[in-house]
Structure 1
Amino acid sequence: MPVGERAGRRTQQERREYTGSALLTAAADLVVESGVRALTLARVGERAGYSRGIVTHHFGSKRALLDALARATQSGFVPGLADTAPGLERLLLLVRGYVGALGDLGPMNRAFLLLWAEAVTDPELSETFRERDHRFRADLRSDVEAGVESGSVRSDVDPDEVAVALLGQLRGIALQVLLDPDAVDTRRLAPVVAEQWRRVLETGAGEV
């Protein structure tokens, strides 16, 4: 089927999804280039080739646009997780994948990290990113709990403490990459960080 004919047969839902994706991509590009304070609905529409009215129709407000951007940029950051059972190996896969992916950040994920850093001092963003980090910690905690249950993770570790410490490390490495990319060799660092957590968590580690 010719491409033009196929495009002409898009359903209303498909057209809406296509437009929404284009607007989020434009928003991410603008955040990376100019920062969140310079982001406006009008600039997003112009960058994506649409009117401001289209952006307002899709998202309603700048806050809603940023919420959608945060959700879109974080999904799929580490491939393969959905196909891996919860537990220690999934946790280590996440660590290796997250740190490794920092070496080749696309605009969407770079925008997420920039927005996350901005959320520390911006009330407009803080609620959104508190929620995102809460979910991230919950995912980490569930992997630790599954590992304890299966016997691959030490029974004396606190899943909540591990989740806080691990998220802090991952976000801290990400900020270093944003500030000084040449100072962090993420390809070499990824397996090192994963192995450190294996030694901390694996059954038998630190036991007498």
Structure 2
Amino acid sequence: MKTTVRRSGSAAAQQHVGAIGEAPGRVAAPAPGRVAAPLQPRRTQAQRRAQAEQRLLDAALEIVARTGSVRMTLAQVGEAAGYSRGLAAHRFGSKAGLLRALAAHINARFVAQIPAASANLSGLAVIRRNIRVYFERTDRTWTTTRALLVMMTEGFMEGSAMRGDLAEYNRAALAALEKHIRIGIAAGEGRADVDPVTMPVILLGAMRGVMLQWLLDGDIDLLRVRDRMLELVDRTLAR
């Protein structure tokens, strides 16, 4: 009489391991000499939301820099970011809300270019640093600058919904320059007869005006302009 040998459950499982590489309900051990990749923690809802908002703003920035904000739609931004057509409207509420957030996003990108070693400067050192950062940015497509200049141009057109927000953005930039000019004067490094309210208007207008010309005519040497502006600061602001 032939005897039938029943395989144990462990033997059956061992055969299954050989077939697909892992036992049911278990993670296969790494092959000899190979280190298992660490498991990545799942992102929280807040992290996913922040990433989605970042991608939407980056997409809007590219669109505005290329074709302006007037023709841009929220659905277009959602699709360009790789999401649904309705996500931008859900996140920002309206096109005006998106553009308001985009202005803050542009400012954050500029601040991110500031070297950590110079983050705690004050007075005229900040004015000089900002001039250097403005003309030495690593984004060689100048997407951020293009988008801001386009938005400002569209902002003063009749009926523009962006005018108030962009005016506020501009006032904040002027106030930051004024603050450090006043600090420089108080510290004795700046000339006492300098007008701390008017000089920021001149400096910011010159910087943006140069960039507008350069975007139209790439033959302008930005580094030479940077050096002349630094000399201008030393001659007109410093003691």
Indicate whether 1:201 and 2:237 are aligned.
Answer: yes
Percent identity between the two aligned chains: 34
Indicate whether 1:49 and 2:85 are aligned.
Answer: no
Equivalent of residue 223 in structure 2, options 177, 182, 187: 187
Deviation at 1:51, TM superposition (A): 1.3
Deviation at 1:28, TM superposition (A): 1.1
Counterparts of 2:77 and 2:149, CA distance in 1: 19
Deviation at 1:113, TM superposition (A): 2.3
Report the structure number with the largest CA radius of gyration.
Answer: 2
Matched residue SS, 1:36: coil
Offset from partner CA, 1:34-84 (integer Å, 9 cap, x none)? 221220011111111111221111100000001111110122424138613
Matched with 1:79 is 114
Matched residue SS, 2:65: helix
Equivalent of residue 145 in structure 1, options 168, 175, 182: 182
Whether the 8 Å contact between 1:97 and 1:190 is mirrored in structure 2 is no
How many equivalent pairs are there? 200
Could you tell me which amino acid in structure 1 is paired with residue 176 of structure 2? D
Matched with 1:29 is 62
Matched residue SS, 1:38: coil
Matched residue SS, 2:86: helix
Counterparts of 2:88 and 2:232, CA distance in 1: 45
Could you tell me which amino acid in structure 2 is paired with residue 33 of structure 1? R
Counterparts of 2:224 and 2:216, CA distance in 1: 18
Offset from partner CA, 1:97-133 (integer Å, 9 cap, x none)? 2133398244234212221222121521111110111
Matched with 2:126 is 90
Change over 3 Å in CA distance of 1:56–1:141 after alignment to 2? same
Could you tell me which amino acid in structure 2 is paired with residue 193 of structure 1? M
Counterparts of 1:118 and 1:158, CA distance in 2: 30
Could you tell me which amino acid in structure 2 is paired with residue 166 of structure 1? L
Counterparts of 1:86 and 1:76, CA distance in 2: 20
Greater relative contact order: 1 or 2 (C-alpha under 8 angstroms, separation 6 or more)?
1
Matched with 2:144 is 108
Matched with 1:206 is none
Indicate whether 1:174 and 2:211 are aligned.
Answer: yes
- Could you tell me the TM-score, scaled by structure 1's length? 0.88
- Could you tell me the TM-score, scaled by structure 2's length? 0.77
Counterparts of 2:184 and 2:58, CA distance in 1: 37
Task: Provide structure 2 residue ranges, at least 5 long, that are not aligned to the other structure.
Answer: 1-35
Change over 3 Å in CA distance of 1:102–1:179 after alignment to 2? farther
Equivalent of residue 99 in structure 2, options 47, 60, 66: 66
Instruction: Supply the RMSD in Å over aligned alpha carbons.
Output: 2.1
Could you tell me which amino acid in structure 1 is paired with residue 209 of structure 2? G
Equivalent of residue 131 in structure 1, options 165, 168, 179: 168
Task: Provide structure 1 residue ranges, at least 5 long, that are not aligned to the other structure.
Answer: 204-208
